[in-house]
Amino acid sequence: MSQFTPEQIFSRSPVIPVLIIKRLEDALPLASALLRGGIDIIEITLRSECALAAISLIREQLPQMLVGAGTVLTSADIDAVVNAGGQFIVTPGATEPLLDQLRQCPIAVIPGISTVSEAMTARAKGFYHLKFFPAEACGGASTLAALAGPLSDIQFCATGGIRPSNKQDYLALAHVPCIGGTWLTPQAAIDAQDWQQISQLAAAAIQ
C-alpha cells in the first residue's frame, strides 16, 4: 500500500471536499462526480453509520481518489479508519492523549487546532501540517495570517464556514495551501442525485 505524506495531501488539490455520506449507495457516484470535476482527494467524516464502508468502497473502486477520514475523535476511530483503508486522518481538535495516539498512526495525520497554544502543542509533538477549525468562527483568514508570524514552519488547511465567497482569502495565504468544506456536496444535490451539480461545484472550486 503506498503511503502519502502530509505534504502530498496538502499539495494534492487547493480544495478538499468534506463529505457526510448518509447512504452507502451515494458513495461511488458522489466520488465519481468530484473526480469528473477535477478533484481527486476527499475527506469522509465519521458522522454517519456507513462512513467506514464508504471509505473502503471508494478505495476499492476508485483507486485514483485519495481518501481520508474526518471527525476522528478516539483511538478506536484511528484503528477503524486504518482498517477501512483510509489514506489520511483529520481531527477536529488536538487533545494531548489523542495527539500521542496519532503519533503511532501508520497513515498521514492532520490534527485540528483553533488556538496558538493548540498549534504549539501539536508542533511540539511533531505535527507541522494542521487543520484550522472552525476557521470562520475563529476569526477566519486574518487569524490564520497572524499565526504565520510565530508559527512560520506550520502549514494549515482551513475548514469550517468556507464558501466560494471567502475561499480566496484563505488560499491567498502562503502557509495555507488548501482549504476544505462541505459546500461542494450539498445534501439536497446528493438527495436529488444531481451529480452534475456536484461536478460543476468541484470544477468551480478549483478554478
Binding site for ligand 3PG (CB under 6 A): 18, 70, 133, 159-162, 180-183
Omega before 134 within 30 of 0, i.e. cis: yes
| Whether 49 is catalytic | no
Q: Which C-beta is closer to ligand 3PG: that of 147 or that of 153? A: 147
Q: Which C-beta is closer to ligand 3PG: that of 61 or that of 168? A: 168
Shortest distance, position 14 Cβ to ligand 3PG, whole Å: 15
Query: What's the distance, Cα to Cα, between the start and end of the chain in Å?
Result: 31
| Whether 131 is catalytic | yes
Burial class (CB in 10 A: 0-12, 13-18, 19+), 22: middle
Shortest distance, position 168 Cβ to ligand 3PG, whole Å: 15
Give phi and psi for 78, each to the nearest 5.
Answer: -60, -50
Q: Alpha-carbon distance 119 to 127, whole Å? A: 9
Q: Alpha-carbon distance 86 to 95, whole Å? A: 22
Write out the DSSP string of 47-71.
-STTHHHHHHHHHHH-TTSEEEEE-
Q: Which C-beta is closer to ligand 3PG: that of 177 or that of 181? A: 181
Q: Which C-beta is closer to ligand 3PG: that of 26 or that of 92? A: 92
Catalytic residue from among 118, 131, 136, 167: 131
Element housing 181 (H / E): strand 178-181
Catalytic residue from among 43, 118, 136, 167: 43
Q: Which residues are catalytic?
A: 43, 131
